[in-house]
Amino acid sequence: MAFDPADEQASSRRARCALVTPRVDTRAERRELWFETALGTCGVRWSERGISEVVMPRARVTSPARAGRSTRVGPSTAAPDAVRAAVAGIVALLGGERRDLRSIALDERDVDPFRRRVYAATREIAPGATASYGEIARAIGEPEAARDVGAALGVNPYPIVVPCHRVLSASGGLHGFSAPGGLATKRRMLEIEGAPGFTQQALFG
Catalytic residue among 56, 140, 164, 190: 164
66-71 long-range Cβ contacts below 8 angstroms, 24+ apart: 66/36, 67/36, 67/37, 67/38, 67/91, 67/94, 67/95, 68/35, 68/36, 68/37, 69/35, 69/36, 70/33, 70/34, 70/35, 71/34, 71/35, 71/36, 71/41
Active site residue 164: yes
**Nearby residues of 39 by Cβ (< 8 Å), 6 or more positions away:** 57, 60, 61, 94, 185, 188, 189
User: Which residues have a Cβ under 8 Å from the Cβ of 181 and sit 6 or more positions away?
Assistant: 56, 57, 188
Contact 52, 104 (CB under 8 A): no
Determine the Cα–Cα distance for residues 70 and 135; give it in Å rounded to an integer: 37
Catalytic residues: 164
